[in-house]
Amino acid sequence: MADLFDQLNDDNRQRQIIAEGAVCLPGFALNEAHELLDALTPIVEQAPYRYLQTPGGHTMSVAMTNCGHLGWVSDRKGYRYQALDPRSGQAWPAMPEVFLNLAQRAASEAGYRRFQPQACLINQYRPGSKMSLHQDKDENNRAAPIVSVSLGMSATFLFGGLRREDSCQKLILQHGDVVVWGGASRFCFHGVQTVKDREHSLLGRQRINITFRQIY
Ligand code: SIN
Ligand code: FE2
């Protein structure tokens, strides 16, 4: 019953322009959610979620892994994209067709054609995980957008401006929601508030966020 209620609510939520070049597409990934999760299982078997160190020596509260030609990593030496998973020394798992297809359709829906992401960062949030305000600027391609798909527990996404001190909009991202930001918004600060303990019917006590990035 709760599921049906959520679903009806999702259907009622409107596509929302967040800022110039940034749009929220509520429920855009709902139809593929099961397929996305099925495709995720072998990825996390091959490249398990891990808690990365920041260059400053802190351990992130969000666990991460990647698929695609390149994966985002962080350690004492800094942030970067690399072709090999540092944990296994092997290439990252391939990006599943269902991932790529969804990312390209969402980008196109937001007005970004020919999106060709080489990297897909998969974040696993547990109750208490958060992501501090930051800009995504490790990608060489500055024209391509970021496509972000949220699954599982809902979370409050903060979307600010080009300066850290700019005020932030708060968006509740639910299971199946997609956010795309590029153009004038490509380097906007963003983050995720501490995730509350609200169990999700499909994913339990976790939120999974998948971001697609075109590096070159
Ligand atoms: C990110 O900025 O990489 C993640 C955003 C999110 O989890 O919604
Ligand atoms: Fe980010």
Q: Which residues contact 97 (CB under 8 A, 6 or more apart)?
A: none
DSSP 94: P
Calpha distance 92→204 (Å, rounded): 26
Say yes or no: CB of residue 157 within 6 Å of ligand 1: yes
User: Which sign, positive or negative, has the C-alpha torsion 87, 90, 91, 96?
Assistant: negative
Best residue among 209, 210, 212 to mutate for probing ligand 1's pocket (most ligand atoms within 8 Å of CB) is: 209
- Strand (E) positions, 57-185? 63-68, 71-75, 78-82, 119-125, 131-134, 146-152, 155-159, 169-173, 178-181
Each domain of the chain, given as residue ranges in start order, spans 16-213
209 CA closest ligand 1 atom index: 7
pLDDT of residue 6: 52
Say yes or no: CB of residue 66 within 6 Å of ligand 1: no
Say yes or no: CB of residue 192 within 6 Å of ligand 1: yes
DSSP 189: -
> Which bound ligand lies closest to the C-alpha atom of 139?
2
CA of 2 to the centre of ligand 2 (A): 31
CA of 191 to the centre of ligand 1 (A): 6
- Strand (E) positions, the chain? 16-19, 22-25, 63-68, 71-75, 78-82, 119-125, 131-134, 146-152, 155-159, 169-173, 178-181, 190-192, 207-213
Task: Report which protein residue has its CA nearest ligand 1's atom 7.
Answer: 209
pLDDT of residue 12: 66
Amino acid found at 128: G
pLDDT of residue 2: 46
pLDDT of residue 13: 86
CA of 157 to the centre of ligand 1 (A): 8
Q: Kindly report the number of other CB atoms within 10 A of residue 71's CB atom.
A: 25
Calpha distance 33→51 (Å, rounded): 24
Tens of pLDDT along 31-70? 999 999 999 999 999 999 999 999 999 999 999 999 999 9
Antiparallel, parallel or unpaired: β 178-181 and 131-134: unpaired
Model confidence, pTM: 0.94
Calpha distance 130→62 (Å, rounded): 7
pLDDT of residue 1: 41
- Pick out the chain residues at pLDDT < 70: 1-12
Topology at the third CATH level for domain 16-213: Jelly Rolls (2.60.120)
pLDDT of residue 10: 53
Best residue among 157, 159, 178 to mutate for probing ligand 1's pocket (most ligand atoms within 8 Å of CB) is: 157
Identify whether the C-beta of residue 130 lies closer than 8 Å to the C-beta of residue 63: no
